[in-house]
Chains A and B, each alone.
Chain A
Amino acid sequence: MKLAVEGLKKNNVEYIETTRTQLKHVVENILSDKECRLSTCLAYDGRGIDGALHVAYIFTCHREGRHIIVDVPVDPATASMDSLYPLTGSPACTWCEAEARDLYGIKFRGNPWKGRLVLPDTWPKNIHPMRKDAPRGKPPVEPEKALKKKPRPGIPLGPYHPALHEPEYFELHVIGEKVVDVWYRGFFVYRGIEKLAEDRFLYHQVPFLAERICGICGFVHSTTYCMAVEAALGIEVPERAKYIRTVLLELERIHSHLLCTAAILHTVGYDTGFMHIMNAREEVMDAAEIITGNRKTYSANTPGGVRVDIDESMARTILEKAEKAVTKGVKLAREYAELDEVKTRLEETGILDRKDAWKWGALGPVARASGIDIDMRRDKPYAAYENVEFEVPVMDEGDSMARYMIRLEEALESLKILKQVLKDLPKTPLRAEGQDYKPFHVGLAASEAPRGECLHYIITGRGKRLWRWKIRSPTYNNLALLPNLLVDRPLADAPVILMSIDPCFSCTDRVILVELDKGRRRSVSLARLTRP
């Protein structure tokens, strides 16, 4: 049996099947186009389809809005292949391969990430949880393992720390006040969402799970998932549904960006600003509540359309509220950025130049603040973005201040989009009728989440269930480059730089709470790996 990939072409996705020996050649060819870079990779258990484990690398050619999937079968008996890290040099590549190794037991020769990434260090070696034949029903037995000696005294930042809003662990090694090395360990909240969806959920129930990937930008995940299903099954979404998705996506972007700027102010210690911006942001939350009945978890998506409608008077109220929130929030945030205590902390800290940003795979506002002009909404329009006019703000400074300011600019653009979209919603039904679920079809969708390009890759399976669902949230790439930013910086800047990336750990980890013995840490210096 072979996977059906017809749905991809329409979406400007190229599907290349190759072999392990040919892979290097194919990838070199793709990367010779300077606009293309590796977005992520994933593994899937194809033993029930064609008898092999598979690894798929996904490349994004940003300006053309084109994606390339390179699919490589791996012999399950040996389960090993060459890493693409030497070729791509992006930290995200070490991550996604390490994830595939943890979850599917595929070894990547040449991947510098030696320790565990997603699974706890105490997880048994021969159990690969995402394989279809993984034992279930009982927790795996933990082997005895010696505590690793710390090589150097470090300053722990996390897993629970006032500067982090979620559990993640950074160990900053300092000489005097300067950070010289960063040890990172994440995925403390790996919840197994992908496995959960594959095992327990029917495909049309997954949007509700997808929405719970992130506590801030959940709707973008459910939309991207739905778009991936629509691409795979060839479902045409009615125009009105597209417009309503756009409205909700933009409301989400506004509140996410205001939250981020407020959180940056909070991190530098200016809590007055935090309170005032959060107060302004409430209006957007109210607007979302009016449409969907909830501030954050909208439950509005379903493959093939949306479940809520917006009438005219509602449209007016939403616009009013959004306008109020944006004008006030942006005005306040801009003014507070002029305060000496804020300005000196943000300007010139954590500079990420264009070359590094591109090489390390920066996405979204982080990339745009470093002069990389990418935005999925414009490059590969989805929802109603092809029918609206907006600008993509780009800044060249690349420091924390630029990352702060660019979010304000984007919030203003979002308001512009909202105005156009809400002016006339097309009068079509809300959902596509008559869906035909076909097994073993591939779908890929990309969207511009508030934090950057968000990818969902699905393979449909039997019985209306998914065979594989891979989520690549933007923070996955942005976080992987973070240790590079912290090195050679004063320790006091670390929290600010961290916040200016606007990391969203849960959606990166996104996957049953695993108890990790804090002393048993596998330390791998990402900084050492990726420093040029």
Chain B
Amino acid sequence: MPGSLAPRLTAYREAAEGRATIRQYPYQPLPPPPRLRGVIQIDPEKCIGCGACATACPAKTLVFDRERARLVYSVTRCIFCLLCVETCPKGAITSLREYEILVEKTPTQVVKHEPARCIKCGRVYASKKLLEEVEKRVKRKLPHLKTCPLCKLEQAAMITAMRVLRARQAYRKR
């Protein structure tokens, strides 16, 4: 096949020049690129347990458990988009240069926070650190922070109901 001779030679040349693409992987790992988006790490010191990252997470990998005031990250569902890193107001999340997640024990990261209990019903509704942070930002004590949103709603409803009652009484008296 004389017509095909030139390309065939090219193929041989190419084969001879080809670069070796196989490495002895676990002993000779591939250096990851500088902008690698790898497994994330949450700094328990910096994290205040606001749950913003959990709201932002598209894959619902980061979950904020309000009843126990803890942040749970299970790496197997992470899509490495780093929206959490972008979102965290405290810069508590960093992306590691770690990409080998197919290991026997899948690492799950749990950041436990000191729970804040509602002074009315006793339910855990946030982390203490978050409440402290809020007070620090507004630079004064906020007593209404000590009740959970549900109790607050109840309280608000009560107040409204009282108002309605009073208004009605006032109307009747007239």
Contacts and interface: CB of A to CB of B under 8 A. Distances in A.
A273 interface: yes
Interface magnitude class on chain B: 20 to 34
A133 interface: no
Interface string B137-158: 0000000000000000000000
A297 B36 CA distance: 11
A19 interface: no
Interface stretch (B2-10, B69-77, B125-133): B2-10
Contacts of A205: 56, 58, 83
B87 to A, nearest CB: 11
Interface stretch (B14-22, B39-47, B164-172): B14-22
B36 A293 contact: yes
Contacts of A279: 18-19, 21
B82 interface: yes
Interface string A267-294: 0000011011001001000000111111
A338 B11 CA distance: 12
B32 to A, nearest CB: 8
A339 B58 contact: no
Given A279-B18, A332-B10, A339-B7, A293 B81 contact: no
B18 A339 contact: no
A412 interface: no
Contacts of B35: 289-293, 308
A201 B35 CA distance: 26
Interface residues of A, number: 30
A144 interface: no
Interface string B96-122: 000000000000000000000000000
A335 B21 CA distance: 23
Given A208-B58, A209-B58, A299-B80, A338 B6 contact: yes
A275 B12 CA distance: 12
In this complex, the member of A276, A282, A341 whose beta carbon has the largest number of chain B beta carbons within 10 angstroms is A276
Contacts of A33: none
A291 B58 CA distance: 22
A294 B7 CA distance: 34
Interface string B28-60: 000001111100000000000000000010111
B14 A339 contact: no
Contacts of B36: 293-294
Interface string A459-496: 00000000000000000000000000000000000000
B110 to A, nearest CB: 24
A336 B81 contact: no
Contact of B6 (A275, A292, A335, A340): A335
Nearest to B35: A293
Contact of B18 (A212, A276, A291): A276
A294 B37 contact: yes
B58 A276 contact: no
A201 B33 contact: no
Contacts of A273: 11
Nearest to A205: B58
Contacts of B60: 200
B79 interface: yes
B4 A338 contact: yes
Contacts of B34: 290, 293
A339 B8 contact: yes
B3 A340 contact: yes
Contacts of A200: 60
Interface in A190-214: 200-201, 205-206, 208-209, 212
B11 A336 contact: yes
B79 A335 contact: no
Given A272-B15, A279-B18, A293-B35, A335 B7 contact: yes
B159 to A, nearest CB: 27
A336 B5 CA distance: 10
A114 B8 CA distance: 50
A272 B11 contact: yes
Contact of A293 (B4, B18, B33, B83): B33
A388 to B, nearest CB: 25
Contact of A336 (B1, B7, B37): B7
Contacts of A294: 36-37, 80
Contact of B14 (A276, A290, A291, A292): A276
A2 B108 CA distance: 47
B61 to A, nearest CB: 12
Contacts of B59: 208
Contact of A340 (B1, B58, B86): B1
Contacts of B7: 335-336, 338-339
Given A208-B59, A275-B18, A339-B4, 9 more contacts: A208-B81, A276-B14, A290-B34, A293-B36, A293-B37, A299-B80, A307-B86, A336-B10, A338-B7
14 contacts: A205-B83, A208-B58, A289-B35, A290-B35, A291-B35, A292-B35, A293-B34, A293-B37, A294-B80, A332-B10, A336-B10, A338-B4, A338-B6, A339-B4
Which 10 residue pairs of A and B lie closest in terms of their CB atoms, listed nearest first? Answer: A293-B35, A205-B58, A335-B7, A299-B81, A289-B33, A339-B4, A293-B37, A293-B36, A208-B58, A276-B14
